[in-house]
Chain A
Amino acid sequence: MIPMLVFAALQAVPQESRYYRLEPVEQPAELVLEVSGITLLEDGRPMICTRRGEVYIVDNAYGEPGTKPVFHLYAQGLQEPLGLLPHEGWIYVAQRAELSRMRDIDGDDRADELETVCDDWNISGNYHEYLFGPVLDREGNFWVTSNRPFGDQPFGSVKWRGFALRITPQGAMQPVCAGLRSPCGVATSPDGEIFYSDNQGEWCGTSKLSLLEEGMFYGHPWGVDSCKDPLWKFADPGHPKNEVLMTEVSKQIPSFRLPAVWFPYDKMGRSPSGFVWDQAGGRFGPFAHQIFIGDQYQSSVMRVALEKVDGRWQGACFPFRVGLASGVVRVGWGKDGSLFCGETNRGWGSLGPKSAGLERLVWTGEMPFEILALRASPDGFDLDFTQPIDPASAADLASYSGESYTYLLHETYGSDEVEKRPLHVSAARVAPDGKSVHIAVDGRRAGYVHELHVKLRSAEGEPLLHDAAYYTLNAIPR
């Protein structure tokens, strides 16, 4: 009997690894692969760049039996490249001080040529002046995001830190968004909109994912003085007031934009990074069109499902997969619908104990029991699940609990969750397909994060793999 009991106990706690397994991409011992960019070449091979300024093309990256990965050094000597973008026969790359493009003319997997596309900004010699991207907009322009410096600027202070910069194919720069803090992730949605992720800190109450919209301000005052430069074609946001509720900031600064999703600190990582939309066509599991986003500190991948309400993006984030070897800074699709995770924790510790690495997250084919989506409705939320649910526990109001809160915009590092209020679920109705529930929730507040814990079971009696969801309710649908 004893072995049976142990087996039952193991089954009671669902394991992420049962559904998504991690496969390290084996590296030669002498390589220090502090991955800072991942892209997929047309031939299906991943290309990665590193914080040490190297770019590699990786053969045999998919763990094909009897093979070992081979790393071809495509380029080196770049200054902390933080993103790669294949476009029109070139590989575009953001370096600290320039947007460049590279190409291999003779087909030996080595770049023969690098061109400076744009270097209309300066850097001060501060380590934190990173430049992320590039990504493409619908018109074929490139977007990059710039970090604010911390500390010494040995070559003098510079403009356009904490901005999204748009660069035309001809290399003309136009600053388009202000007030970014540490915008480590930037990506184009399948619809051609550009989103970015930002890290909690001063003037950023908790980490977030926001749509980048021309002329808008995202909260950090570090660089806003640059908005007095004629290159800035929009309203000058000015300095925000200290200690203001996030929901109130736009009264003072009309161009202030709330994020599509807040990532509550520690519950959903601490330092979100690169992200991708699931376009794997089901090969990565049931989360089509959703976002997978890395977290550097937590060494995890999180999940985000957005919807448009009142013309603005909002939605929920969910835990997805922890336990990666090091801090996840970049994610990128493989040719087989697996997700490459590029990692480093240099200078910023991570829960993952390794200092750097490249891993692949692969769906095992088994369906996890997860909240597939959480959608706002006029009187509550609709929850979709990945598997049929147990109608009794789904209709039980005690299966749902939660609270809502927001954050302060202030100079202090991070913000507590403030203005907390519990959520009251007053009704729960299971949909006829047995895979969705509508819950009526009293006391919802526009602009607030709504944290929901769901304790229901699947029709087979399994608990949810993750029972928490964090919905940023910018607007309540009418």
Chain B
Amino acid sequence: MSRLRCVACHAAQPAVQSRLRPEAAPDLAGIGARKSPAALRAWLLDPRAEKPHSAMPDLLAGLAARERVATAGDLVQYLASLGGPLDARATAVDVSELERGRQLFHSVGCIACHAAEEDADSLAEPLWTGGLEQGLVSNPDSDLKQLRAATTVDALARFLLDPLAARPSGRMPSLRLSGSEARSIAAYLLRSQARSGDSLAAPGLLCELYEGRFDSAAIDLEGRSASATSVLEDLSQLPSQHPEDDFALVLRGFVRVDAPGRYEFSTLSDDGSMLYVDGKLVVSNDGIHPAVEASGALTLEPGLHGLRITYFEAAGGEELSVRWQPPGGKKEVLPAAVLSHSSLSFVAPSEPFVADAQQAARGRGAFTKLGCAACHTLGNQPVVQPAARPFAELAAGVERGCLAERPDPRSPHFDLTPEQRAQLRGVTRDLAALAAPRTQQEELRATLARLDCLACHSRDGEGGPNEQKLPYFRTSVEVDLGNEGRLPPHLDAVGSKLYPAAISKVLLEGAVERPYIATRMPQYGAANVGELGALFEHVDGSPKDLVAPAFSSASAETGRKLAGTGGLGCIQCHAFDGTKSLGIPAVDLAHVRERIKPGWFRQLLLDPKSLGMNTRMPIFWDAQGKSAARTILDGDPKQQADALWSYVSLGRSMPLPDGLVVADSEYELVPTTEAILCGVFLKNTSPRALLVGNPELVHYAFDLENSHLVCAWRGRFFNARGTWEGRAGGLEWPKSDELLEFEQAPTLAFLSSSDAPWPEQMGRAAGFKRLGTRYDAQRRPTFRYRVRDVEIAESCVPLVRQGTLGLTRRFELRSPKPIEDLYLRASPGSTLHTHVSFSREADGAYVAHAEVEVTW
């Protein structure tokens, strides 16, 4: 009855009125700007045709057919006049926006209530896999398919940005989308509006020009609009039309890759630029600087890959060119032949519509007369209760009016099933029961049911994402947090855990305690969930929740010790006031004080299973009831739990635990007496590289995967934090201003003649096979590898001479057979190669030696 809003028309005594409080119907103030006239008409004529569970009655059912159509026409004119009519002009959408919308729709929480548009598995591949035409087809089973005919990308985006403004009931909550996120989702949902004939294959990249002050190429387009849009095919220079200073460009489209392998991209820019492939940052060349080149590489499979380049110019000179080097190819300007962009233009189906003020005025009259205003507000204009029979009198005639088997022509038609009708009649008769106040337990259940909270959260064994929806709940960070990292937390006894204010902060202020969950906590508005925190507390809470152990600064200090190394090691997983944990990103313990009640905290520590916490939080006490930290408070769990409470009760003013912050110097590798070797994942090179640091302060990186000298540098050797801290896995690169990069080209090559071109293929792909490493007395490595019949031993030793600090590259080559066609190119930046001449040794092997001094 609350859904059907009975008491909106039938005035009831306050107790009944409050029990049957009608759910707020959509506010129609801007309806004309949201919905097409055709959609409005279809809706008025048959509200349940497209939305079978709609609570909107058919108010025109009692009219004769002609009058019905005429009244609907008047109402459409009136509604279209409210902010409208819908602006149905075509709008341009880039396919990357579509892809973003697709990912957001399936991850932020939309699919908790709406049907998924596609299988979770298929989301790993971009929309255009299998052809864009295919990607633009709507799912016929979608419950949102009617939107295609009803609205436009921009109108839907406006709605998604603040759904509560138009639909205050909270059934469609806000997901805290940014403007561009809302537009992306809208575009995705309306993708079948893309005009046929649009294609992916438009040549060049889409180039948007933004004017204004920029100081980074990490351009936030929020609230900005492009002052010009063009297509750019030549990436060797900036487009000819641009302001002198203070502008930014965003280039978007695709790069086509024909062969699998490693592709290097680079930008040469003044000022900064960034290049993204498939949403991943590949080249970071940001900042205000003269023309500087930066590069990055990644492995790509054949097919189209999303490409996005951002560039800005603050003042002074300006320059931009973009290059790439495909596997086995030369470095060149990114050729137009591999570039394309999508030129999608979205058009909402529309029929001619001419506003008619007279008709609208009639529609306005019908709106009041038919009782539309009983439920629908118009901005500040409140609902108007019509003069229907008072609710108290309905009991005497439950077979009449809306509840009649054939409803009275003047009554709204709800299309009730016989069961629904019987139920409603029964409830209507029992006025006393309706007048009885709802218990808080009932109130809570009703709220959870109305807002479908249990679509995402479970409570007391009910709800939580169902089997079909589970795969869409994802973690937004890449660590193995398991289900805790992807599923919204359960709500069992949540009122005994969280303070009402903390619940409200999540519900009303968008507080995010678990940033690793991709699904967002929707915002339902104060009118709908303002009381929920208090209700949870009433239903779940008990006085002992609030009993905190006595605070003392000594106890807090003990708690701090427990949190750190040498204690229970909370720092392994938990952040402390924004300082990251050593391991996984579990909730920040500086927020505990304002969120969590002391009783629950204590129980969580002492007996997490009793709270149904299927968590990976450790149990710190053994079967004998002794703490893992035996030396603190005599290993007593209760005392330790209370000390931890004292500590976390300091909130954001907590001093940090020991071991949470480790000084960089702990990881600094300083070669003093002999070489230091450190294996790393080396950026843009390979995940199998060795850094070699020398006491002479000249160092180098050698790629073991491809048996190739990558770079050399002077000064500071290396800080291993990224490789040795936490789970590590950082991509490393030496930090030195005196760095020399060797070419990504082979050092040794077999040539048919000395003037044959130097090959591009190198390393493993060119048949270089690693054999091992030898170490000298200073631990200096000699790398052994083979190509064809030749075994090579390569080393790099510091070259220290007056005024020079460089490296000497040494090669020893051995072959069982004579070799005539091997050449060496070992000097950086030089395209000269020298013939390697072998001589026969006493043991019958053919041997050659080479030595090249490298300085920079």
CA distance A322 to B627 in the complex (A): 11
Q: Does B290 contact A (CB under 8 A)?
A: no
Q: Does A124 contact B (CB under 8 A)?
A: yes
Known A-B contacts A119-B770, A152-B478; A112 and B775 likewise in contact (beta carbons under 8 Å): yes
Number of interface residues of B (CB under 8 A): 62
Known A-B contacts A53-B679, A125-B681, A150-B479; A97 and B659 likewise in contact (beta carbons under 8 Å): no
B482 touches A154 (CB 8 A): no
Stretch at the interface among A226-234, A349-357, A395-403: A349-357
Q: Which of B477, B484, B583 contacts A348 (CB 8 A)?
A: B583
A127 touches B770 (CB 8 A): no
Q: Does B852 contact A (CB under 8 A)?
A: no
CA distance A411 to B781 in the complex (A): 45
Q: Does A336 contact B (CB under 8 A)?
A: no
B688 touches A115 (CB 8 A): no
Interface residues on A, range: 35 or more
CA distance A112 to B630 in the complex (A): 44
CA distance A96 to B105 in the complex (A): 38
Q: Does B400 contact A (CB under 8 A)?
A: no
A349 touches B772 (CB 8 A): no
Known A-B contacts A299-B628, A347-B726, A351-B620; A201 and B690 likewise in contact (beta carbons under 8 Å): no
Scan B462-497; emit 1 where CB is below 8 A from any A CB, else 0: 000001000100000111101110000000000000
Known A-B contacts A100-B772, A112-B774; A201 and B482 likewise in contact (beta carbons under 8 Å): yes
CA distance A322 to B679 in the complex (A): 34
Q: Which residue of B lies closest to A52 (CB)?
A: B724
Q: Which of B688, B725, B775, B779 contacts A113 (CB 8 A)?
A: B775
CA distance A151 to B585 in the complex (A): 14
Which chain A residues lie closer than 8 Å to B691 at the CB level?
77
Q: Does B619 contact A (CB under 8 A)?
A: yes
Which chain A residues lie closer than 8 Å to B262 at the CB level?
156
Q: Does B173 contact A (CB under 8 A)?
A: no
A125 touches B618 (CB 8 A): no
Scan B612-644; emit 1 where CB is below 8 A from any A CB, else 0: 000010111011100011100000000000000
Q: Does A297 contact B (CB under 8 A)?
A: yes
Q: Which of B565, B679, B728, B771 contacts A115 (CB 8 A)?
A: B771
Q: Does B687 contact A (CB under 8 A)?
A: yes
Q: Does B357 contact A (CB under 8 A)?
A: no
Q: Does B746 contact A (CB under 8 A)?
A: no
A347 touches B582 (CB 8 A): yes
CB distance from A147 to the nearest CB of B (A): 11
Which chain B residues lie closer than 8 Å to A322 at the CB level?
622
Query: Which residues of B, 698-731, contact A by the 8 Å Cβ criterion?
Result: 704-705, 720, 724-729, 731
A79 touches B726 (CB 8 A): no
Q: Does B566 contact A (CB under 8 A)?
A: yes
Known A-B contacts A53-B679, A155-B299, A299-B628; A353 and B569 likewise in contact (beta carbons under 8 Å): yes
Q: Does A310 contact B (CB under 8 A)?
A: no
Which chain A residues lie closer than 8 Å to B771 at the CB level?
115-116
Query: Which residues of B, 522-563, contact A by the 8 Å Cβ criterion?
Result: none
Q: Does B754 contact A (CB under 8 A)?
A: no
CA distance A154 to B774 in the complex (A): 29
Query: Which residues of B, 57-89, contact A by the 8 Å Cβ criterion?
Result: none
Known A-B contacts A156-B298, A353-B566; A123 and B687 likewise in contact (beta carbons under 8 Å): yes
Q: Does A423 contact B (CB under 8 A)?
A: no
Which chain B residues lie closer than 8 Å to A386 at the CB level?
none
CB distance from A89 to the nearest CB of B (A): 15
Q: Does B677 contact A (CB under 8 A)?
A: yes
Q: Which residue of B lies closest to A156 (CB)?
A: B299
Q: Which residue of A lies closest to B725 (CB)?
A: A346
Known A-B contacts A52-B724, A95-B679, A354-B565; A345 and B299 likewise in contact (beta carbons under 8 Å): no
A113 touches B622 (CB 8 A): no
Which chain A residues lie closer than 8 Å to B724 at the CB level?
51-52
A349 touches B659 (CB 8 A): no
Q: Does A98 contact B (CB under 8 A)?
A: yes
CB distance from B284 to the nearest CB of A (A): 14
A110 touches B775 (CB 8 A): yes
B687 touches A349 (CB 8 A): no
Q: Does B338 contact A (CB under 8 A)?
A: no
CB distance from A224 to the nearest CB of B (A): 15
Which chain B residues lie closer than 8 Å to A355 at the CB level?
565, 659
A412 touches B770 (CB 8 A): no
Q: Which of A13, A112, A116, A154 contacts B681 (CB 8 A)?
A: A154
Other CB < 8 Å A-B pairs besides A77-B690, A97-B688, A354-B565, 17 of them? A77-B677, A96-B679, A98-B770, A114-B772, A115-B772, A125-B681, A125-B731, A127-B727, A128-B480, A151-B478, A156-B298, A266-B619, A319-B623, A347-B582, A348-B727, A351-B628, A414-B482
27 pairs, CB–CB < 8 Å, chain A vs chain B: A13-B624, A53-B678, A75-B775, A77-B678, A77-B690, A80-B679, A95-B679, A100-B772, A112-B775, A114-B774, A125-B687, A127-B727, A152-B478, A154-B681, A154-B731, A155-B687, A156-B298, A201-B482, A243-B467, A323-B622, A346-B582, A346-B725, A347-B583, A353-B568, A353-B569, A355-B565, A411-B471
| Interface positions of A (Cβ within 8 A of B) | 13, 51-53, 75-80, 95-98, 100, 110-116, 119, 123-128, 150-152, 154-156, 201-202, 243, 266, 297, 299, 319, 322-323, 345-355, 411-414
Closest 5 CB pairs of A and B: A151-B478, A77-B677, A127-B729, A413-B482, A349-B572
